[in-house]
């Protein structure tokens, strides 16, 4: 499915990987090529634009790691953004509800709806030991209900007996009733398709939805139709509301655009992919694995991850040594601030750090936003190395110079120094407690 995109990206990024030093222009040139490659793979334009913007932003702002090349770091960023674009985590089919739970399958004719219904039913039966009932609500295509019945017999899953002339919404209600009376866990409803999205189809599906309140409404879409598949998903989501997507024919040689833009455009996860005509050709969609398959650079990605971990470990070890000695200077504070920034901003980290109660007091009145972070870093940056190591050197005139140099005020400089003092004191206390063998307390 992703072969040609994968080849293209590999070619582009391989060039970066080999380079020792990278200029912004190198990254920009590579990203222009990545952009073309994604567009040619039929990924939706807004998705491509936002992808490129995010990669560039991260590539420019990143700290350089030891032992990997900047190019390798860029590859890691591309990989991570690819995973984010695909939805980060795999999303299993939800069956957790009061049984019988209804799973409604919707989509256009020929998308693979009936096949996917049977595949999911088989998997729920065999893997999850669920008791599954399937019902075809397709009263338009003459042989549709029989088709599901035959599939059911092949895979050993019960189907609702066919009553000719019943309306889809009535069949759905009958299926749920049978599910309740006969102790089924899951009732799978295979709705009728059309060649195109039309009002009659939507009205029919809405009626079924309102009658049975499905836990899952899965849109089945043919990945070979590219952006059309994404448009259909958007259409169904707007009019019926879908909870996820089953992307079929991923075994074909489509360009992959549907798989790549589906999540970003619709906001709904690809839950499963169909990889063949057989009843067990169904797989979970793992964003991480798909991204790795597309990039084919798993080695580089894990290399960079390891390098980042090492740096963090080294930092943490250094900090621990400082704590043991009871020396915590402004350089250390800066490292901490950076770490906090990396961890996702002040607000999310505040609660996690020991001694935060005291720190909050020291900061009282200040707004805890990330802008403040940047100002604090600027204040420390404006100090000389000597001042950073020995904050007691900071007299009034030095403070004035630092405030001017960092575009802040003397009270802000004082506030930072006070915060540093509190933290240093706390670290000393913690290291003493550590030595005495007691657990350090976390003041709240």
Q: Which of 381, 358, 378 is nearest to 443 (CA)?
A: 358
Judged by CB under 6 A, the stretch of 106-114, 263-271, 364-372, 402-410 that binds ligand GDP is 106-114
Binding residue (CB under 6 A) for ligand GDP from 248, 261, 376, 408 = 248
**Residue 280 is a binding residue for ligand GDP (CB under 6 A):** no
Q: Is 111 annotated as a binding residue?
A: yes
**Dihedral class, residue 228 (left if φ above 0, else alpha if ψ from -120 to 50, else beta):** alpha
Between β-strands 270-274 and 282-284, what pairing exists: parallel, antiparallel or unpaired? antiparallel
- For 53, residues 6+ apart whose C-beta sits below 8 A from its C-beta are none
Q: What is the DSSP string of 376-431?
A: HHHHHHTS-HHHHH-GGG--HHHHHHHHHHHT--HHHHHHHHHHHHHHHHHHHHHH
Q: Given the complex with ligand GDP, which of 272 and 330 has the nearer CB atom?
A: 272
Q: Is 114 annotated as a binding residue?
A: yes
Helix (H, G, I), strand (E, B) or coil at 324: helix
Q: Given the complex with ligand GDP, which of 30 and 219 has the nearer CB atom?
A: 219
Q: Is 249 annotated as a binding residue?
A: yes
Helix (H, G, I), strand (E, B) or coil at 354: coil
| Cα 261 from Cα 105, distance rounded (Å) | 21
With beta carbons less than 8 A apart as the criterion, state whether 132 and 182 touch: no
CB of 43 to ligand GDP, least distance (A): 21
**Residue 113 is a binding residue for ligand GDP (CB under 6 A):** yes
- What are 332's two structure tokens? 């250390």
Q: Is 241 annotated as a binding residue?
A: no
Binding residue (CB under 6 A) for ligand GDP from 193, 226, 254, 355 = 193
CB of 114 to ligand GDP, least distance (A): 3
Q: Which of 185, 243, 193 is nearest to 214 (CA)?
A: 243
| Cα 26 from Cα 30, distance rounded (Å) | 6
CB of 138 to ligand GDP, least distance (A): 8
CB of 145 to ligand GDP, least distance (A): 12
CB of 220 to ligand GDP, least distance (A): 6
CB of 80 to ligand GDP, least distance (A): 28
**Residue 112 is a binding residue for ligand GDP (CB under 6 A):** yes
- For 436, residues 6+ apart whose C-beta sits below 8 A from its C-beta are none
**Residue 251 is a binding residue for ligand GDP (CB under 6 A):** yes
Q: Is 112 annotated as a binding residue?
A: yes
**Residue 276 is a binding residue for ligand GDP (CB under 6 A):** yes
What string marks each residue from 331 to 370 as x (binds ligand GDP by CB under 6 A) or -?
Answer: ----------------------------------------
**Residue 225 is a binding residue for ligand GDP (CB under 6 A):** no
Q: Given the complex with ligand GDP, which of 251 and 331 has the nearer CB atom?
A: 251
Q: Which of 189, 192, 167, 169 is nearest to 107 (CA)?
A: 192
Judged by CB under 6 A, the stretch of 64-72, 108-116, 285-293, 345-353 that binds ligand GDP is 108-116
| Cα 392 from Cα 194, distance rounded (Å) | 77
With beta carbons less than 8 A apart as the criterion, state whether 245 and 270 touch: yes
| Cα 47 from Cα 264, distance rounded (Å) | 7
Q: How many residues bind ligand GDP (CB under 6 A)?
A: 17
Minimal CB distance residue for ligand GDP: 274
With beta carbons less than 8 A apart as the criterion, state whether 38 and 85 touch: no
Binding residue (CB under 6 A) for ligand GDP from 6, 234, 275, 408 = 275
Q: Given the complex with ligand GDP, which of 7 and 277 has the nearer CB atom?
A: 277
Q: Is 113 annotated as a binding residue?
A: yes
**Residue 249 is a binding residue for ligand GDP (CB under 6 A):** yes
Q: Is 253 annotated as a binding residue?
A: no
Binding residue (CB under 6 A) for ligand GDP from 3, 277, 299, 369 = 277
Binding residue (CB under 6 A) for ligand GDP from 110, 298, 326, 434 = 110
Q: Given the complex with ligand GDP, which of 146 and 312 has the nearer CB atom?
A: 146
Q: Which of 144, 150, 208, 202 is nearest to 175 (CA)?
A: 208
Q: What is the largest CA-CA distance in the chain?
A: 93
**Residue 168 is a binding residue for ligand GDP (CB under 6 A):** no
Query: Which positions touch ligand GDP (CB under 6 A)?
Result: 107, 109-115, 193, 248-249, 251, 274-277, 281
């Amino acid at each position: 499915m992703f072969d040609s995109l994968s080849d293209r990206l590999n070619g582009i990024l391989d060039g970066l990987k080999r380079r020792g030093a990278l200029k912004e222009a190198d990254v920009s040139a590579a990203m222009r090529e990545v952009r073309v490659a994604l567009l040619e793979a039929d990924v939706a334009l807004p998705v491509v634009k936002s992808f490129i913007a995010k990669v560039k932003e991260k590539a420019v702002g990143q700290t350089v790691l030891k032992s990997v090349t900047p190019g390798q770091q860029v590859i890691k960023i591309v990989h991570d953004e690819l995973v984010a674009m695909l939805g980060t985590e795999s999303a299993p089919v939800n069956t957790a509800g009061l049984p019988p739970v209804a799973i409604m399958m919707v989509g256009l004719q020929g998308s693979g709806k009936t096949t996917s219904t049977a595949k999911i039913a088989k998997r729920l039966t065999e893997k999850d030991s669920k008791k599954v009932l399937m019902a075809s609500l397709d009263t338009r295509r003459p042989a549709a209900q029989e088709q599901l019945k035959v599939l059911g017999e092949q895979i050993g899953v019960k189907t609702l007996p066919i009553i000719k002339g019943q309306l889809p919404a009535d069949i759905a209600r009958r299926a749920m009733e049978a599910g309740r009376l006969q102790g089924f866990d899951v009732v799978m409803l295979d709705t009728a398709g059309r060649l195109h999205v039309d009002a009659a189809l939507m009205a029919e599906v809405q009626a079924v939805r309102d009658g049975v309140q499905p836990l899952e409404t899965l849109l089945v879409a043919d990945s070979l139709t590219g952006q059309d598949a994404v448009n259909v998903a958007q259409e169904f989501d707007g009019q019926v509301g879908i909870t996820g997507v089953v992307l079929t024919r991923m075994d074909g040689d489509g360009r992959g655009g549907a798989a790549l833009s589906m999540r970003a455009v619709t906001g709904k996860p690809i839950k499963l992919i169909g990889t063949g005509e057989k009843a067990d050709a169904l797989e979970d969609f793992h964003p991480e694995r798909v991204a790795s398959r597309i990039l084919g650079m798993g080695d580089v990605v894990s290399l960079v991850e390891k390098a980042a971990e090492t740096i963090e470990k080294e930092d943490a070890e250094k900090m621990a040594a400082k704590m043991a000695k009871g020396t915590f200077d402004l350089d250390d504070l800066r490292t901490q601030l950076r770490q906090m920034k990396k961890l996702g901003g002040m607000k999310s980290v505040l609660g996690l750090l020991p001694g935060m109660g005291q720190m909050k007091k020291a900061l009282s009145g200040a707004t805890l936003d990330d802008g403040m972070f940047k100002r604090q870093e600027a204040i420390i940056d404006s100090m000389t190395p000597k001042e950073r190591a020995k904050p007691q050197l900071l007299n009034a005139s030095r403070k004035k110079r630092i405030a001017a140099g960092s575009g802040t005020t003397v009270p802000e400089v004082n506030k930072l120094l006070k915060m540093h003092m509190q933290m240093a004191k706390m670290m000393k206390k913690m290291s003493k407690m550590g030595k005495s063998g007691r657990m350090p307390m976390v003041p709240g």
